[in-house]
Amino acid sequence: MTRVPQHLALIMDGNGRWATGKGRPRWMGHARGAHTAREVVAYCAQRGVEQLTLYAFSSDNWKRPADEVGFLFDLFASHLERQLDKLLKHGIRLSVIGRRDRLPRALCDAIEATEARTAEGRRMHLRVAVDYSSRAAIQEAFTMADGGGDALPNASILPPVDLVLRTGGERRLSDFLLWESAYAELAFLDVNFPDLSTADLDAVFADYAKRERRYGAVPAPANVSAPTTPAISAPR
């Protein structure tokens, strides 16, 4: 088995293009994407990913038509309710990150209930980012720290991300986990999210396992001793 990222951050992009490419309305792409998300969660837990953070709705996604936004929130609420048993069965803890104050009451209730029920899950921590902005989260963390606490103490900053994966062909982060991804590996797939398969994930994990993460240090020591005299003499 290849080494998998401990913390995988997934930007689930390309739902709309998946649908319009088939002559269908965008909401069908989101519905299909939700199905894919369920499979991704199950597969990541099975592969031993400890933390999975899914980008479901950005604070900039409020710019979309109200009916698309409403559909996304309804879809998320109904999935939370329907997936609860599976989350419990597989030991998955679910948390939602992002602003809550602009979400529909019914969705907040579903989120709170699911968070409370799954709080003891130890196999994988699944976080779903809803009305999330990384710049806002960083700002919030600094505001809290200014109030006298330790630097960046609060829940708006997550543990470091090992791998950011974005589907849908774009090569950008779109305000997702900017602080946490300081040393993350990056992977971009041209496949639209609803078409993402476990084979695609296998390929991404295999590529991740080959990368050497140095965090600014030199590579692991090779069996070569340092030269006794400098190759280049210092200027006089």
> Could you confirm whether 13 is annotated as catalytic?
yes
98 binding ligand IPE? (CB under 6 A): no
Residues 6-45 as x/- pattern, contact with ligand IPE by CB under 6 A? -----xxxxxxx----------------------------
DSSP string, 157-203: SPSPPSEEEE-SS----TTSSTTTTTT-EEEE-SS-GGG--HHHHHH
Backbone angles phi, psi at 66, to 5 degrees: -60, -35
131 binding Mg ion? (CB under 5 A): no
**Of 73 and 205, which CB lies nearer to ligand IPE in the complex structure?**
73
CB of 181 to ligand IPE, least distance (A): 14
Cα atoms found within 13 Å of the Cα of residue 229, Cβ hemisphere only = 3
Q: Which residues of 171-206 are buried (b: 16+ CB within 10 A; e: fewer)?
A: eebebbbebbbeebbebbbeebbbbbeeebbeebbe
CB of 14 to Mg ion, least distance (A): 6
Amino acid type, 123: R
Number of C-beta neighbours around residue 156 at 10 A: 20
Please pick, from the candidates 9, 12, 13, 30, the single residue that binds Mg ion as defined by CB under 5 A: 13
Burial class (CB in 10 A: 0-12, 13-18, 19+), 166: buried
> Could you confirm whether 74 is annotated as catalytic?
no
**Of 85 and 170, which CB lies nearer to ligand IPE in the complex structure?**
170
Quick one: which of 139, 115, 134, 150 has its CA closest to 184? 134
187 binding ligand IPE? (CB under 6 A): no
CB of 13 to Mg ion, least distance (A): 4
181 binding ligand IPE? (CB under 6 A): no
Size, binding site for ligand IPE by CB under 6 A:
17
Which residues carry out catalysis?
Answer: 13, 61
Residues engaged in binding Mg ion (CB under 5 A): 13
Residues engaged in binding ligand IPE (CB under 6 A): 11-17, 55-58, 61, 72, 168, 170, 172, 174
